[in-house]
Structure 1
Amino acid sequence: MNKNNYQNIKHIKKVSPLFLLITLSLLSAFGPFVTDLYLPSLPFLTEYFNTSASLVQLSLSLSMLGLALGQLLVGPLSDKYGRKRPLIICMWMFIISTIACIFSWNIYSFVIFRLIQGMAGAGGVVLSKSIPTDLFSGKELAKYIAIISAINGIAPVISPVIGGLLLQFTNWRGIFTFLLALGLLILIMSYYLDESLPIKKRSNKSTFSTFISLKKIFRNPTYVFNTFTLVSAALVLFSYISASPFIIQTHYGFSPLVFSLCFALNSLGIVIGSVLSMRFKQTKNSILVGSSGLFIFALSTAFCLFNNLPFIYLETCFIIMMMFIGFIFPSATALALDSERENAGAASAAIGAFTFLAGSICSPLVGIGNIMHSTAILIMSGAILACLFCFFARRNEKLIKIKLSLKK
């Protein structure tokens, strides 16, 4: 840690980089655990509640909606009241809502509690980005977020596997008991976590005015262009996640085990991309490489899908495409947050909210018509948008430099 970053955290009494990294990684992984851990139990939930598959799927959609809305609430409030207090409140809400899920008496109560659970879990997701923004800046911030993103990339891989293993020994309630235990662990760690936002740096506006900061950050073109570069890449990712079970298992006829292995391998691509993004001296170059590579391999993936090519070609494109998404996520996040340090909570909240909204949009769209064709169109659309927003971000940066030079 360099001298400048030490100055950023001198108000903290005790700082353990490893403890901080572990805590933030667990918080950032909350989203995938809340949404993915119980996926293997969906058929059992349908049978248990004696309901339709669509209603059970609604519990997944609403949990993602909760993750989006919750971040818009917690982010601005954390700019006013600090990071630690909202985090602890969210963790208590998560624990209570998880217990409520376990004892749900019908599918309707379960769906409602899942919405609340998602909103509570959103606190961990948004604060996992706000806290590093309080402590670090520039390249150091980009490195820290890249490490968290790499670790977080493992969560979508292991959460369905853990859920499947738990079902070998217990029922769907056992999966939510595991979530409860995870929530209790993070709650305990939250009490030991130091406050990263000192009182003098907090927003002194009213609670209502604090939410107005969401409007303010979208007047910052640097933040907007980098955020929507990330969201566009997320559109590609969620299109893949939503469609891959049907493409790999139904269309190509592979077993659930093969699907899990492919899913794990592709997720590893994101981890590799996140790690490689740290090698760039300038964070903006990582986004440029990521957007360009994403476009090329999204086009290749779409070609494979439209022409029904052998699976080995499609899987190769999937892996490389995921790697370039890994280039974009940490770098775009770091640049966006670095441009809105005074409203880090609101800025982080908006990033997370739009990301999960992209996911909630993709799920129904991939099922329209031929799933191979609809997935190809969505993937290409996201890649094209990522390139456009990346271009706008770089042009905006050049305009800022020109204005600064004219002032001199």
Structure 2
Amino acid sequence: MREKMDKPNPSLNENTTRQKYLGDRGMLIFLVFLSAFAPLSTDLYLPALPTMTTYFNVPEYLTNLTLILFFIFFSLGILIWGPLSDKYGRRPVLLVGITGYAIASLLCAISGNIYQLIFFRVLQAIGGGSASAVATAIVKDLYKERKREKTLALVQSMVIIIPAVAPVIGALLLTFTSWRGVFIIQGILGIIILLCSIAFQETLENRGTGNILHTLGRLGVVLKNPRFTSLLVIFSLTNIAGLAFISSSSYIYQNDFGVSSQVYSYFFAFNALAMLIGPLIYIKLSNHFKRFSIINLCFGSMVLSGLAVVLVGQLSPWIFALALFPATIASSCSRPPSAYLMLAQQPDDAGSASSLMGSFATIMGSLGMIIISFNMDHLILIIGGLYIILGLLSGILWLAATSSPLLNNIKES
């Protein structure tokens, strides 16, 4: 049974349209940083992965666990924080989660061995999950219809600036500090975002009144919606290829192509540029084409780009980067319409829906990192193959879902 909801709090009515302390622009920037917690926590220290492997004198797979387990527990954290934000509000969840993230980041910086670092990364992931769980829910609280879709596109586009510059900053940090300094920076960022969370005014008007177990059970209620769940699976699949590349990118450029950590950061920034312009391209295309047609184009582009990576990606770092560029654009271009469509299928339980969207994407990304860890000798071929297979699979499932009588309401969203 649907749990009863508290009556709207009149004091929240203006907060849902305007933030007294953050303001409209400040709110947008706040949403960007909340949405970017995963890249802030990973891309900033990617250039240090080979160095950390040498420092701790451990196999590469142990160092990679600091990435893989982060994403796994990040996704689990998202699943918990999202429903809790529907019951207790977005702000309390942020205050608790971000505080935990900041403390764990500083603990990562003083780790004495790889196992301590892995453990503190798990704590960091659980705390950071609160940001991703709440970010999309806040967007749904604040914006409606076309404004919501444009805001999602704008936030996701701005989010990409962070992974574009994070490896460059990380590489620069390594020129005058160790990998420990990178985690100190993450801790400081956590404290800054915590201060913004204190200034943030609650946007949730109607709160759930059931107990915690009942609240967490709303995840199951949302998953029983076949329209939401089918889209959730389809649009999460491509994260396997995307995170497989991100987790292996430093090894591809530094070990396979022999470039320095600084040069690697430039190639990574080039790839992030594609992620940046993808949502902006969608905004332009959506003025002239239906979102369904744009999504079809995105899946097709992933397949062709993956094929180019397989055929010529090993020739040089620039050829590899250029071959991968269209797949990255297509992946980021499909995110605004996919997020909009998923939210449209679930009018209630925005926190639970948001947490499932973030968690599934992260779980699929973790699967990609695991796949890539099994064979570090043919990384370029694996990346290209993943884009071919997942682009085809997602495209086929997308066409099947949108033509199914059971799911035909998706077209009306």
Q: Which of the five TM-score ranges fits, normalised by the shorter chain?
A: 0.7 to 0.9
Q: Distance in 2 between matches of 1:375 and 1:116?
A: 29
Q: Distance in 1 between matches of 2:409 and 2:231?
A: 17
Task: Answer whether contact 2:68 2:370 (CA < 8 A) is retained.
Answer: no
Say whether 1:139 aligns with 2:146: yes
Say whether 1:373 aligns with 2:373: no
Q: Distance in 2 between matches of 1:14 and 1:259?
A: 39
> Displacement of 1:401 after TM fit?
5.3
Q: Distance in 1 between matches of 2:129 and 2:147?
A: 25
Q: Distance in 2 between matches of 1:169 and 1:211?
A: 45
Q: Distance in 2 between matches of 1:170 and 1:309?
A: 33
**Correspondence for 1:358:** 364
Q: Distance in 2 between matches of 1:120 and 1:23?
A: 17
> Displacement of 1:348 after TM fit?
1.0
Task: Answer whether contact 2:222 2:353 (CA < 8 A) is retained.
Answer: yes
Task: Answer whether contact 2:87 2:209 (CA < 8 A) is retained.
Answer: yes
Which segment is superposed worse, 46-55 or 20-29? Answer: 46-55
Identity %: 29
1:180–1:79 distance in 2 versus 1, CA, 3 Å:
same
Say whether 1:271 aligns with 2:276: yes
Say whether 1:34 aligns with 2:38: no
Q: Distance in 2 between matches of 1:89 and 1:367?
A: 33
Say whether 1:333 aligns with 2:342: no
Matches within 5 A, 1:6-405: 9=16, 16-198=23-205, 201-281=206-286, 285-286=290-291, 288-306=293-311, 310-311=315-316, 313-368=319-374, 370-396=378-404, 400=408
> Displacement of 1:381 after TM fit?
1.9
Aligned residue pairs, count: 397
Q: Distance in 2 between matches of 1:91 and 1:367?
A: 30
Task: Answer whether contact 1:290 1:325 (CA < 8 A) is retained.
Answer: no
What's the TM-score once normalised by structure 1's chain length? 0.88
> Displacement of 1:136 after TM fit?
1.2
Deviations 1:316-345, CA, capped at 9 Å, x for gaps: 331122111121112101211232231111
1:61–1:140 distance in 2 versus 1, CA, 3 Å:
same
Task: Answer whether contact 2:303 2:391 (CA < 8 A) is retained.
Answer: yes
Q: Distance in 2 between matches of 1:296 and 1:286?
A: 15
Segments of 5+ residues of structure 2 without an aligned counterpart are: 1-12
1:325–1:9 distance in 2 versus 1, CA, 3 Å:
same
Deviations 1:81-133, CA, capped at 9 Å, x for gaps: 11000000001111221222223233222211110101101111121111011
**Correspondence for 1:3:** none
Segments of 5+ residues of structure 1 without an aligned counterpart are: 1-5
Q: Tell me, what secondary structure is at the counterpart of 2:349?
A: helix
Q: Tell me, what secondary structure is at the counterpart of 1:195?
A: coil
Q: Tell me, what secondary structure is at the counterpart of 1:38?
A: helix
1:131–1:365 distance in 2 versus 1, CA, 3 Å:
same
1:205–1:397 distance in 2 versus 1, CA, 3 Å:
farther
Q: Given residue 386 of structure 1, which amino acid in structure 2 is its aligned partner?
A: S
> Displacement of 1:261 after TM fit?
2.4
Q: What value does the CA root-mean-square deviation take over the aligned residues?
A: 2.8
Q: Given residue 227 of structure 1, which amino acid in structure 2 is its aligned partner?
A: L
> Displacement of 1:279 after TM fit?
2.9
1:15–1:280 distance in 2 versus 1, CA, 3 Å:
farther
Task: Answer whether contact 1:133 1:341 (CA < 8 A) is retained.
Answer: no
Deviations 1:24-66, CA, capped at 9 Å, x for gaps: 1111111111112122223443444454433222222111112
Q: Distance in 2 between matches of 1:260 and 1:397?
A: 47
